[in-house]
Amino acid sequence: MFKAFLVKYGEIGIKGKNRHLFEDCLMDQIRFAMRRIECPFEVTKEQGRIYVEMMDSFDYDEVVETLQHVFGIVAICPVTVAQKGDWDQLCKAAGDYVDEVYPDKNFSFKVFGRRGDKRFPKTSMELAADLGEYLLDRFPEMHVDVHHPEVSLTVEIRDRVFIYSISVPGPGGMPVGSNGRATLLLSGGIDSPVAGYMIAKRGVKIDAVYFHAPPYTSERAKQKVKDLASLVAVYAGPIKLHIVNFTDIQLAIYEKCPHDELTIIMRRYMMRIAEKIALSEDSIGLITGESIGQVASQTLQSLRATNAVCTLPVYRPLIGFDKNDIVEVSEKIGTFETSIQPFEDCCTIFVAKHPVTKPSVRAMERSEHHLKDVIDELVQTAIETREIVVCE
Ligand code: ATP
Ligand code: MG
């Protein structure tokens, strides 16, 4: 019965020129998200509304679920389509729609007319009144309530007639690509995939960097991070993942720096390398899964010491989240099960028993001074030898 979907999107703050960018971006994202749908479809924009029209028979649940992953969509309304030439036929189509969608007719309703085509012989008010009358005749159990109807049936006159009353919630947010590009430091944990999801939801295109330390970390651990990137990509679109071999840098730090500072110094090099990669990819921000106080490397002093090596802004969308809240989001978006697979990540191998919790920037710089003969070349090599995969 459904032939199309009306896509509703948030309009606050997207007035003027930005509105077109937003809409075009949303249409691109819808087309991309639906690339695996077998049925041919068309995405069109008309009078500030976006429609996805299905050209053949299709799997309703599959399409709705796909659209529910497209940021920027606030609601998805499945639509039935009628011809507008013949009033009786239009009424019949609306009646058949009601009959099928609401087997139990004991409800209140109101008809909303929207006349996109001003040549249509009835005004919006007449359209609503006359169709309401037809429906009351055909289904006497239904009754009209113009103030608080249980069912709002909208009939839109365009080149054809669009009839709908159901609204399925979308994910909200802004379409990916409408707000620039940033680089996610993606580990195999619970937090960073959630952080990437949250920033992508604001319309930001995401790249990712993963640091591994073979042979201390395994191929399985690397595969897990690729899997996580693919799961985030269900929402964020394809993610270009840079896999950086961090082993020699970690060994150098281990050999030359105080062990209680290993984690912070490592984190500082991760940030430096991620920033260099980001800048070479026209990405203008870094994203991490850090949250205040979660571990020793995320105290305010540690965050300051880590932050001090970056010039790009670092977005930490989970900064005020409790672990429980992060877990909840990760379950909702489908990354949790993968995140908890027990593969070592490169930080856990070189962690000290008693890491510093109040590192000063000066102290870190002094310790890093011990690396001065080797580190530039190691960083350069790590960047040059990185592996790049696109996860989708
Ligand atoms: P997560 O659950 O995201 O792994 P975490 O609680 O384990 O986070 P840390 O290991 O201290 O926290 O890492 C803090 C942040 O640093 C991570 O959220 C991630 O953004 C980044 N990070 C940590 N390890 C790596 C890694 N191996 N590769 C890329 N980024 C990393
Ligand atoms: Mg981690």
**Once rounded to an integer, what is the mean pLDDT over residues 50-67?**
96
Substitution candidate for ligand 1 out of 184, 192, 228, 323 with most atoms within 8 A of CB: 192
79 C-alpha vs ligand 2 centroid, how far in Å?
45
Judge if pTM exceeds 0.85. Answer: yes
Beta strand pairing call for 181-185 and 286-287: parallel
Regarding the beta carbon of 338 and ligand 1, being less than 6 Å apart is answered no
Instruction: Give the 3-state secondary structure of residue 192.
Output: helix
User: How far does CA 345 lie from the centroid of its chain?
Assistant: 25
Nearest in space to 67 (alpha carbons), one of 240, 239, 234: 234
What backbone torsions phi and psi does residue 182 show, to the nearest 5 degrees? -140, 165
5 C-alpha vs ligand 2 centroid, how far in Å?
40
**159 falls in which pLDDT band (50, 70, 90)?**
confident
**Once rounded to an integer, what is the mean pLDDT over residues 368-387?**
97
Q: Is the pLDDT of residue 92 over 90?
A: yes
The residue nearest atom 17 of ligand 1, judged by CA position, is 289
Predicted pLDDT at 11? 66
Tokens 């709002």 appear where? 152
Tokens of 90: 């239009």
Amino acid at site 23: E
**Once rounded to an integer, what is the mean pLDDT over residues 23-46?**
94
Predicted pLDDT at 208? 98
Tokens 């006497």 appear where? 140
| CA angle in degrees (0–180, nearest 5) for 326-331-332 | 100
Regarding the beta carbon of 294 and ligand 1, being less than 6 Å apart is answered yes
Q: Is the pLDDT of residue 175 over 90?
A: yes
Domains detected in the chain: 4-169 (3.30.2130.30), 181-391 (3.40.50.620)
53 C-alpha vs ligand 2 centroid, how far in Å?
43
Q: Is the pLDDT of residue 386 over 70?
A: yes
Regarding the beta carbon of 229 and ligand 1, being less than 6 Å apart is answered no
Q: Is the pLDDT of residue 120 over 80?
A: yes
Regarding the beta carbon of 63 and ligand 1, being less than 6 Å apart is answered no
Q: Is the pLDDT of residue 346 over 70?
A: no
Regarding the beta carbon of 297 and ligand 1, being less than 6 Å apart is answered yes
Regarding the beta carbon of 250 and ligand 1, being less than 6 Å apart is answered no
- Please provide the average confidence, as pLDDT, over all residues in the chain: 93
Task: Report how far apart, in Å, the C-alpha atoms of 114 and of each of 57, 117, 163, 271 are.
Answer: 27, 9, 10, 53
